[in-house]
Structure 1
Amino acid sequence: MGNAVRDKDSQVRYLKDRLNMFVHVLDSMKPENTDLEDIDRLITMIDDLEAKCEQFKKDKE
């Protein structure tokens, strides 16, 4: 995706950007048109965000 994110400020910025992207996707969904594939995509986004949080936490230690 780009350069490695090492310093704390960059990590926080990265996480905020990814979370904003998730919120944008969520806001753009219409419940009546949302299917299981869309829900799976949201779950994947959250899983990826959680994995990145864990990676940043390990990098800090």
Structure 2
Amino acid sequence: MGSPIKDKNSQVSFLKQRLNMFLDVLDAIEPEETELEDIDRLIEMIDDLETKCREFNNREE
């Protein structure tokens, strides 16, 4: 793992990148071919984003 991101601008940039990755995955999914594992992975990605938001929110500058 890398060092913690403490700068607010870097935190926002990180979250934007992760959200864009999520959106790319979501756009690539074919509804007719989607399996439960795919949905579970999407939920996991959202949970990870939520965890990161909480982490960043609780860090002191």
- TM-score when scaled to structure 1? 0.93
- TM-score when scaled to structure 2? 0.93
2:18 match = 18
- Cα distance in 2 for residues equivalent to 1:3 and 1:32: 41
1:36 match = 36
SS of the aligned residue for 1:4 comes to coil
Residue 5 of structure 1: how far off its partner (Å): 1.0
Point out where structure 2 has 5 or more consecutive residues left out of the alignment: none
Q: How many corresponding residue pairs?
A: 61
Q: What do residues 14-37 of structure 1 show as CA deviations (whole Å, max 9, x unaligned)?
A: 000000000000000000000100
- Cα distance in 2 for residues equivalent to 1:2 and 1:31: 35
What is the letter of the counterpart of residue 44 of structure 1?
E
1:49 match = 49
